[in-house]
Structures are given as C-alpha cells and as structure tokens.
A and B are shown apart, each in its own frame.
Chain A
C-alpha cells in the first residue's frame, strides 16, 4: 500500500491548469522529494493531497483511502507555504493549540516531547514572533508532528535557512523517517540538500509530473561517465567499444559519453596511439540538479 496515490489529479484556476492529470505515487516509508520550478504546481498538488484544495478532477488516496475520510486525515501532518503559527503565542502554546485541534489525550506531554524532538525546549516560552526563521521552521515541523502522524507533507521547509539550520532540519527529517518510520512528502528548491535525504523523486513542470524516479534509479542514470571531444566520433566510438569494452558508449552533441571506464588516461592513450587527437576528456559527475535541468531542457533551477 502506498502512502499517497493520485489518479489523474487536476486543478484549474479558470482557464489555467495549475495541475494537469498527475499520477503520483509516494511509497510508504519513503522520503519523496517533489521538485519543480516556481509556479510549476508543487504547492497546489500538496494542498490537494492534504485536502486543503479541491481537485477539479481526479482523486487522492492516502494509505489506500480517499483523502476525504476523517480517519485518513488523522494520520497526516502538514506544513504548507509557511509555519502556521500564532506570532503572539509562545512556542509551547502553539503546540498546545495543535494538540487541542487534533484532540490528543495528553497535549501537554506531547508538546514537551515535540519541542525536545526539534531541539527547541529552551525556546518553549518564547513568542513565535521572537524566534529566528530556522526556529520557526523547526517549530512548524513540530506542530505538524503533533499526534504522531504517519505522513508528513512539507512545502519547502528548508527555504531561507542558514547552513546550520539546514543541517539541523536534515537531522530531524532523517530521525522522523528512520526511527519513527514516517513517510515524508517534501518539496524543496535546494536540490543538493534534497538529494542527501530523498529516497524517491517526483519532477513536476507546468503542472505535469514529468518523471518519478527512485534515488537508486537516479544514481544509476546519473552514474559517472567520461566525456570525450574528438573530431572523428564514429571512429573513436568503435575503437573504444572494441578495445575497452565499456558498459555503454554513445555519441552526443557535446561529445562521446563512455560509461564503465573511469580512467581517462587509458582512453586517451588508446585514441592517441590510433591516430585520433583528443581535444578534451574529463570525468563527468551528474547530480540531481543536473538531472533536473536535463529534464527541464536547461534553464535555471526554480
């Protein structure tokens, strides 16, 4: 059973389709990184997943049940757009409010536990408006965590954080996922950071889900390769295939891509000894950001 499953999910605002027939699958126990440019439909999709926005068409199922069911809602914690906090109330009071909202039996105990989990115990009595951005984000996650949900839906929770804050948040997410088995559906623009924690990715562009891929598949796709610039690519390709038996050797606009061989010297010597002049050769390492850009057809990230 998947934590989230959408079927042809769409949302239109007038003539504009914000989300267009998305079939999203978030496996149970995963950290699902949801990636897309600004205005690509990430937040709208996440809102529909939480029941905060009505789909124009299509369905959302959480743990195999429609999102409209009350028992399903009780298993979801959300942090959408910004930490939902009352600025004039203390961190503890904000957690108490969420505890009362969800009707847990001992909200005081849970509030204290949640503060400990996000390392905000010392700021318990500080008003939310006095907290730093990083502390507010952590408090927002703690609010979402009240009642021990099975699924967390987080919309750009690490935006605006300093490096220290990002590391702390990463620790929180890893603890929640590994120690408590919570599925996390997270959107972020900070792809480098997302690639450290995500087990699955979904890439959305102009309202359409253009790719769903697991971290293992991505690692396989984005494995290192040698990029070689030579004049006669056909000849070089045949020679490399014949003499070095790479796992893959293909011709692209930017040169030859040779997989399975990581020593550029070996290739260089081979080509040189066969009279093929090498203009450029280097080991290319593709990361999530590059993969994202390649899917987007270039341009800037978010």
Chain B
C-alpha cells in the first residue's frame, strides 16, 4: 500500500489538475474576501453551522473542488488503463484501497491547509484581520477534525469510483456529499413531518460531521467527528475492497 501511496503522490505532484484546483478554490474565496462577501475567518472556514450546508463559499466549496479532484484522479487510472498495471501487480485490493485513501487524505489535507492559510493572508491584506475564537489550539483541532472528515469523504468517492469506474458518478457523489444535499433534504422532510430524530441521525453524515467541526475546541464534538469519520472510512474501505475484488478490471 505504500507503493500505491508513493505512486499517487508522484502522479499528483506532476498533474496540472492539482495546481488548478488549488488556484480555483483560492480564487473563489479570494474574490469573496476582496468584495467583502466573507468578512471573517470563521465564515471562510465555514466552521460550525455555516459549514457545507450553510455556506457554499466556505470550506464546503473547497470540499466540492476536492471531491471533483478525487473523482477525476481515481477514475483516470481506469480510463487510461493504468489500473491494469496496478491490479496485475497487487493481488490484494486492500493495498490499492488503503494506499489510495492515504494519498487522497494527505492531498485533501494539503488543499484545506493551503486554502486556510491563503484565506488568512487575504483577510490580513484586505484589513479584515483574523480572529481565532478558539485560539491556535482550536485551529489545530479544527484542522484535525477536517482531515478525518476528508478521509471519510475520500473513502466515499473512492467507493463510488471503484464500484462504477465512472468519473461522472464520483463527481456527483463528491458534490452531493460536500454540499450536504441529501441530509439537507432529509432534514427538511423530517422536520416537516415532525420526525426530529432524523436531524439527530443526520449529524453523523459526512457533511453533518463536517458541520460539527468547530474553531472552538469541544471534547465531545471532537470525539464525534473523529469516531464518525473513522466509521465512515472503515465502512467505505471494506465495501471498496469488496467492489475491487468482485469487479473485473
């Protein structure tokens, strides 16, 4: 699995798509900051309730771009046929799934951290200033939470791509998960019919977990995000291995 990780990192660093995505996500947030649409760092990072479901221009937007990148990156191996080289060499698909998950999580973490640092810099440059409500510790734990969410997000897209081999499906799954479309619809429907327990369950969806992550550290929120992220990752990994084993290349 380390081989797959190294192979992916080599490919990512040599692909234009990686740099285009970084530029794209920073360009969008930068534009919003310059025009005063996003006045604070909390809004940029979409922490708490404003994340994903509430703030398209927050880190939800970044996740959307990350999702598109993940889907195109994974499916590129199937469309070019390079997956044959990989699966002919590695008899156990867990090497592929875990190796890829590792590289995607690292890449996602780079995207999120670069996005945050650039946003902070732009806020300082535009005179808005950066206020961290939970201090540096809050920011660090927030990053850790987001990285665990990112791993779950990557594993979901990986599952969709390995199962269907279609980048379009991966992109759609990524966008839906990043925007929290499905939980939002279910939440509204639940509230309409008085089924409030649905909202409780929805906080454990990937977008729900991402919304739980906050710039102010909270032990229970931290545990919820980390454990929830791990469960999502584990389930998607097991299903992904199964799909890779059953489907011919």
Interface residues of A (CB under 8 A from B): 47, 50-54, 67-70, 72-74, 76, 78, 80-89, 93, 96-98, 100-103, 143-144
Contacts and interface: CB of A to CB of B under 8 A. Distances in A.
B4 A101 contact: yes
B134 to A, nearest CB: 40
A80 B4 CA distance: 20
Contacts of B82: 84-86, 97
Nearest to B15: A88
B126 interface: no
Interface string B11-31: 100111000000000000000
Q: How large is the interface on B (under 10, 10 to 19, 20 to 34, 35 or more residues)?
A: 20 to 34
B6 to A, nearest CB: 5
20 contacts: A47-B248, A47-B249, A50-B84, A50-B88, A52-B84, A52-B88, A70-B90, A70-B92, A73-B89, A73-B91, A78-B88, A80-B84, A84-B85, A85-B81, A97-B11, A100-B3, A100-B7, A102-B89, A143-B85, A144-B85
User: Which of A51, A70, A83, A97 has most B Cβ within 10 Å?
Assistant: A97
Nearest to B4: A101
Interface of B: 2-4, 6-7, 10-11, 14-16, 76, 80-92, 246, 248-249
Contacts of B14: 89, 93
A105 to B, nearest CB: 12
Label chain A's interface by main secondary structure.
Answer: loop
A76 B15 contact: no
B184 to A, nearest CB: 37
Contact of A88 (B3, B16, B89, B90): B16
Contacts of A144: 85
Contact of B91 (A47, A69, A78, A96): A69
Contacts of A52: 84, 87-88, 248-249
Given A53-B248, A84-B81, A103-B3, 14 more contacts: A50-B84, A52-B84, A53-B249, A54-B246, A73-B89, A76-B88, A76-B89, A78-B85, A81-B81, A85-B81, A96-B10, A97-B82, A103-B2, A144-B85
A276 B7 CA distance: 76
B206 to A, nearest CB: 29
The 5 closest A-B pairs by CB, nearest first: A84-B81, A53-B248, A100-B7, A52-B249, A103-B3
Contacts of A51: 87-88, 91
Nearest to A155: B84
Contacts of B81: 80-85
Contacts of A70: 90-92
